[in-house]
Amino acid sequence: MRPLAQSLILSLGLLLIAGATPTALMAQQGTAGWTPELAMKVKNIGAVRVSPDGRKVVYTVSQAVMTTERSEYVTQIWLANNDGGDPLQLTFAEKSSDNPQWSPDGKMIAFTSSRSGKSNLYVLRLIGGEAEQTTDVKTAVGNFAWSPNGKQIAFLMRDAPGEDEEKGAKGKDDSRWVDENVKMNRLHVINIEKDANGKREPRKLTGDYNVDGDFDWTPDGKAIAFTRTKMPKADYWTTGDLMAVVVDGGEVKTIAATNAAESGPKYSPDGKWLLFLVSDDPPRWAGYRRIAVVPAGGGPVKLLAETHDAQPNVIDWSADGKNVFFAETRGTVSRIYSLDVNSNAITELNKGNEVISGPSLNRSQTMIGFTLQTNDRAPEAYVSQLATFSPVQVSRANADLPKLPLGKTEVIKWKSSDGLEVEGLLTYPVNYQAGKRAPLLLIIHGGPAGVFTQSFLAGSRGVYPTAAFPARGYAMLRVNPRGSSGYGQKFRFANIKDWGGGDYQDLMTGVDEVIRMGVADPDRLGVMGWSYGGFMTSWIVTQTKRFKAASVGAGVTNLMSFIGTADIPSFIPDYFGEQPWENLEIYRAHSAMFHMKGVVTPTLVQHGEADERVPISQGYEFYNALKVRNVPSRMIVLPRMPHGPNEPKMVLKAKQTNLEWFDKYLGTN
């Protein structure tokens, strides 16, 4: 990009944060539709929590902050009535405030913030005053939960470095042994009231193992159920067992420990039962979960009905303990369900094309809060009564977004090469004229057990400018090939030992379908994807020359070197059934790096430099092979970025470079 163009883009980003309205910016720049820069103005909504009495709602609003010296997403907490009235911003610190949780009496909220330099726990009394810091940790406070009587808060915290380790780090004598002296996440509890010395001292509850994810207090506040894993690393989720610890005495009891992975405990309102999720046995990365209940003190486990996608996310019990609420993806939308614990009957609460995320019941279990969005509606906070599901919008965080046209999106279906029905989202160019063929961009999700849903096209966090593409005259096809979530276990497991096989055919037949419909120009096709989507993109350019441009984002390009360098070394062997030294051919046959001979497609490579999930070496391998082949290619390294870019300037750079790349090779003008 020329220096002038760079300065214009930077100026636009700074003006957005400085307060210039998107409409004014469009007038200044002559913009006719969505751009990557405008998409960064979209705010994200989360942690929608209804007060115990159902009258008030807290939620978080996150926005990109980009100045000459800053690039971060900052989250603030808001308060409103349950009908959206009297919205009030509660936090204003320069650093984020997140995960607000109501005290049982509804008079306070607790939240985490890194305003002190570390992520600490704060309490804010709603009658007025400043938020009070209640912890002073050396690492970071993770998930937390109020005790039922509101006198204590339990929280997760990673072990801090020892004194010798701190000295070693300062003196550059900080070598370390892999998988030794691992810092565990442990459960702690702290009193809200200060002691006689005016202090609050956290007390550690758990021992030499890792506490993972969610935990739950018994209704009487005497014990806490949690999930234990062997290590705090992503690869060890398969070792999850269900445990409980007595808060006062510290005694720990095993509730459920099998070869399956147990997680997500929640006590019934009467405290007699413990609800949790259990994986298949042995656990599979492709994903299979059942809702189960067990007596609170341990005993026989009862599996409840298998859900549509076999990947339920438990929300909570009903107030009478007769039902369990859960959320799950169904095709390209999301659903909230009620499951009768005795009859196993499943009832769908919501219908339509909305995408609901983060559902949470209030303490009285009468109302539910969540984020809701659609293809053409930006995310906002909503609440509903449980008795009659009817969402009420309570936030207006994105009300000032420009009323720019978004390409029409519709769900299309087709038969793959083996007759399997596949579904995808086809987005038409803005102001599309029927019968006119447009350049088509195939976008592939990660996972492979990810899924494309009908979420807002102009999201600010994604690496692909999915609102700018249609504004520039592109059609987009986002396919959910075999291996995706949302279509049941059989569909999700259909790519086992077959990456680049049936899933590749699902994608190609989808492109063929859009061409058959008269929408796509077969001579102007582009393809892109991140993570597993990057794998598929790298694979596609080794299998066909039909695409005129490609973008490989954080792609797995060499299955063999991936398992030796990634933080999830068990992932690929689980999908393919064997290690490379046991079956070298299957790894070679399914890796793009071993099929580079005929590649001609101009390819952009994007990768985060701090990516542990798919190490950047995967990107370098592919880029260097492209250079040897004299294929037109560029590689952009995103410094500091993990697997998913988390700084707005880096997200914006990914959006911009993708748009520039496809404009160069598929230009719509």
CA-CA distance, 255 to 216, in Å (whole number)?
13
Strand partners, 368: 361, 384
Tens of pLDDT, residue by residue over 58-82, are 999 999 999 999 999 999 999 999 9
pLDDT (0 to 100) of residue 249:
87
Tens of pLDDT, residue by residue over 500-559, are 999 999 999 999 999 999 999 999 999 999 999 999 999 999 999 999 999 999 999 999
Above 80 in pLDDT, residue 25?
no
Above 90 in pLDDT, residue 396?
yes
Segment 13-29 mean pLDDT = 37
Residue 412 pLDDT class (50, 70, 90 cuts): very high
* Whole-number percent of the chain with pLDDT over 90: 91
Type of residue at 118: K
CA-CA distance, 557 to 551, in Å (whole number)?
13
Above 80 in pLDDT, residue 13?
no
Q: Which long-range contacts (CB under 8 A, 24 or more apart) does 656-660 make?
A: 656/1, 656/9, 656/36, 656/465, 657/604, 657/606, 658/463, 658/464, 658/465, 658/528, 658/551, 658/604, 658/606, 659/36, 659/465, 659/468, 659/469, 659/472, 660/1
Contacting residues for 168 by C-beta, under 8 A, at least 6 apart: 174
Above 90 in pLDDT, residue 10?
no
Mutual orientation of helices 502-516 and 532-543 as an angle, nearest 10°? 70
Q: Which parts of 171-292 fold into alpha helices (H)? A: none
Type of residue at 464: Y
Residue 198 pLDDT class (50, 70, 90 cuts): confident
* Whole-number percent of the chain with pLDDT over 70: 95
Tens of pLDDT, residue by residue over 589-633, are 999 999 999 999 999 999 999 999 999 999 999 999 999 999 999
Q: H or E element: which one contains 282?
A: none
pLDDT (0 to 100) of residue 564:
95
Are 192 and 148 spatial neighbours (Cβ–Cβ below 8 Å)?
no
pLDDT (0 to 100) of residue 669:
57
Which runs of E-coded beta strand occur in 469-574? 475-480, 520-530, 549-553
Q: How far is CA 99 from the centre of its chain?
A: 15
Above 80 in pLDDT, residue 6?
no
C-alpha torsion angle, residues 637, 640, 645, 648 (rounded to 10)? -100
Domains of the chain as residue ranges with CATH = 409-666 (3.40.50.1820)
The dihedral of CA 635, 638, 640, 642: what is its sign? negative
Residue 26 pLDDT class (50, 70, 90 cuts): very low
Question: Cβ atoms within 10 A of the Cβ of 283, count?
Answer: 21
Segment 231-251 mean pLDDT = 95
The dihedral of CA 239, 245, 251, 257: what is its sign? negative
Tens of pLDDT, residue by residue over 320-369, are 999 999 999 999 999 999 999 999 999 999 988 899 999 999 999 999 99
Tens of pLDDT, residue by residue over 86-98, are 999 999 999 999 9
Question: Cβ atoms within 10 A of the Cβ of 159, count?
Answer: 16
pLDDT (0 to 100) of residue 668:
62
3 state DSSP class of 562: helix
CA-CA distance, 119 to 111, in Å (whole number)?
10
pLDDT (0 to 100) of residue 280:
94
Are 487 and 324 spatial neighbours (Cβ–Cβ below 8 Å)?
no
CA-CA distance, 43 to 378, in Å (whole number)?
8
Whole-number mean pLDDT of the chain?
93
pLDDT (0 to 100) of residue 352:
86
pLDDT (0 to 100) of residue 309:
97
Residue 557: closest CA among 502, 631, 499, 643: 499
Q: Which parts of 175-314 fold into alpha helices (H)? A: none
Residue 354: closest CA among 326, 318, 330, 385: 330
Above 60 in pLDDT, residue 27?
no
Above 60 in pLDDT, residue 19?
no
Above 70 in pLDDT, residue 423?
yes
Segment 172-179 mean pLDDT = 92
3 state DSSP class of 345: coil
Model's pTM, two decimal places? 0.92
Segment 394-417 mean pLDDT = 96
Residue 387 pLDDT class (50, 70, 90 cuts): confident
Count how many Cα atoms sit within 13 Å of the Cα of residue 578 in the half-sphere of its side chain. Answer: 11
Residue 250 pLDDT class (50, 70, 90 cuts): confident
pLDDT (0 to 100) of residue 70:
96
Above 50 in pLDDT, residue 648?
yes
Selected residue with higher pLDDT from 283 and 3 = 283
Q: H or E element: which one contains 147?
A: none
pLDDT (0 to 100) of residue 128:
81
CA-CA distance, 357 to 316, in Å (whole number)?
15
Above 60 in pLDDT, residue 284?
yes
CA-CA distance, 666 to 669, in Å (whole number)?
9
Tens of pLDDT, residue by residue over 93-130, are 999 999 999 999 999 999 999 999 999 999 999 988 88
Type of residue at 108: M
pLDDT (0 to 100) of residue 270:
96
